[in-house]
Chains A and B, each alone.
Chain A
């Protein structure tokens, strides 16, 4: 088992001009560690992060799109695994932070904590699938994961995080989306 913030610290060292789409607790933690205009925080409709990311990946095929999904979130939108596999964007990398609970909704367990997300993604048809529970192997392979032809999927088995302050108003403010759009259009 890993810590999410440590995984994100490692990820941060590899991220350059990717769009990072992050959900709920992952969004808060990622934004604390790495505030950048190319972060996209999907709000309101739980689970929609992977679909937002598919749209971004199709719109900007020359740019990598990295999803930092939650396990509870992905369970709300499992069909998107098949849709993503079908559209097969080479530039999409899908991480799911598997802490076996709905951390932002009180910490209740997900329906089946033993669900094999990487197996689901493989069966759906992702091009490459990974499963990490050791920090060292994640550190060694993350560079490779981020550059493989997608869609790529990786489960990160993590512990529940330290208590987070859910500053959704700040995270979801409209100015972030305006800035993201301007940044994407100016460089594409």
Chain B
């Protein structure tokens, strides 16, 4: 096997356990979630079993925005784990609480139906294609996670959100293993 192919094969993996480790290293204690099939197996099931993370299952994604804001007053860090559909549904809460009130709202958003080898803006799925432009329009920094090398973006993104009291979206483009 030549080096190029080996690199390509490595690139095609996003390891759930490594994402969870990065979340914990970022000081996150609470995960607020509505199930999403992209992150179901690799993230939500293991998080539900994880003793160090407290999982709060909510009925609708905009609830997460309020809960995370409230937690921040107890200096508790939270990760919102949702599907892009829920992100779209919560835009007003994100606009008001995360952007205008400048609250630390950290979102991990599963891009359901996305082709992992493409950038989100080139997705064949309309709902996925519009996510980054919406973040840009709202001034929400975003990071694309589709391979293990991207996991290094997680801790700086969460640290920055909490140190600056601002939102961030991490877009999950591949089902974590």
**Which positions in A face B, CB cutoff 8 Å?**
44-47, 72, 75-76, 78, 102, 104-111
B171 within 8 A of A: no
Residues of A within 8 A of B57 (CB): 108-111
The prevalent SS among residues of A at the interface is: loop
Residues of B within 8 A of A105 (CB): 35-37, 40, 83
- Give CA–CA (A99, B85) in the complex, Å: 23
B58 within 8 A of A: yes
- Give CA–CA (A130, B40) in the complex, Å: 33
CB distance from B49 to the nearest CB of A (A): 12
CB distance from A82 to the nearest CB of B (A): 15
CB-based contact B35/A106 at 8 Å: yes
Residues of A within 8 A of B35 (CB): 72, 102, 105-106, 108
- Give CA–CA (A76, B48) in the complex, Å: 21
Most buried by A among B35, B83, B89: B35
Residues of A within 8 A of B44 (CB): 106, 108
If the complex has contacts A45-B85, A106-B44, A108-B48, are A76 and B60 also in contact, measured as CB distance less than 8 A?
A: yes
B9 within 8 A of A: no
CB distance from A166 to the nearest CB of B (A): 9
If the complex has contacts A102-B35, A108-B45, are A78 and B40 also in contact, measured as CB distance less than 8 A?
A: no
CB distance from A60 to the nearest CB of B (A): 28
